[in-house]
Structure 1
Amino acid sequence: MFSHVTVGSNDIARARRFYEGVTAALGLERQADYPEAVAYGRPGGRPQLWIVRPLDKKTATAGNGVTIGLDAADRAAVDKAHAAALAAGGSDEGKPGLRTHYHPNYYGAYVRDPDGNKVCIVCHKPA
């Protein structure tokens, strides 16, 4: 359904450190690396998650109500990505666990990246 998602950052080097561990835990790889942007995608695919300095040169800010959802292959990957996010300067917004109010197999974790963007790491498969 989506072509790509773009997340704003005021410090691309810091954002790269944060997203490297998160995306690696999810089987994604860095596919583009520029002074003002870095992008990730599935191996053999195209970049679909872009971290960029805003093109208008204004300060990047997190959107209220905006969450970037990253799909995990299994629950262990959710746990690993959450730990990597915290180790790389992210803040916890919800530890890994079931959220059955969404559906019976929704296993997710929530973090904020160093710029304040909310990221959900989720596995929709049964244990």
Structure 2
Amino acid sequence: MWLSDVQKIGVGLTAFGLFFMVLGVLLFFDGGLLAIGNILFLGGLTLMIGIPKTIAFFFGRRDRLRGTVAFLGGIILVFIRRPVLGMGLELFGFINLFGDFFPVVVGFLRRMPFIGNVLNLPGVSHVVDRIVGRSLPV
């Protein structure tokens, strides 16, 4: 399936958002970079999947409410100049919201040439499977 132009822009904004967040953390929790990263990430996510699906993702299911509150609360804390506490709360919310996708990501990484070899080593494979929570059937 091909991406529309709006979705391609969304992918780019999401990537830049993640880049700015990583850069903000590496530069000792620079609040400005983290705030820009958060705005770009949310904007990119919205452009990728659309406004109704974004609202449904964050607020549609009751079991995601704790992750949504933590993630959005962390963003607010970053905006009011509490970047360390905000990023901690955001990380907790991110894991709660996107934790279901981790097995899919690990399965994809295991099929990549060099990373897959490392992830399939006996000791590493056991640790990764334990962190992710379950193995994929493939």
Name the TM-score class by shorter chain: 0.3 to 0.5
Structure with the higher fraction of residues in helix conformation: 2
TM normalised by structure 2 equals 0.31
Larger radius of gyration: 2
Structure with the higher fraction of residues in strand conformation: 1
TM normalised by structure 1 equals 0.32
More RCO (CA 8 Å, sep 6+)? 1
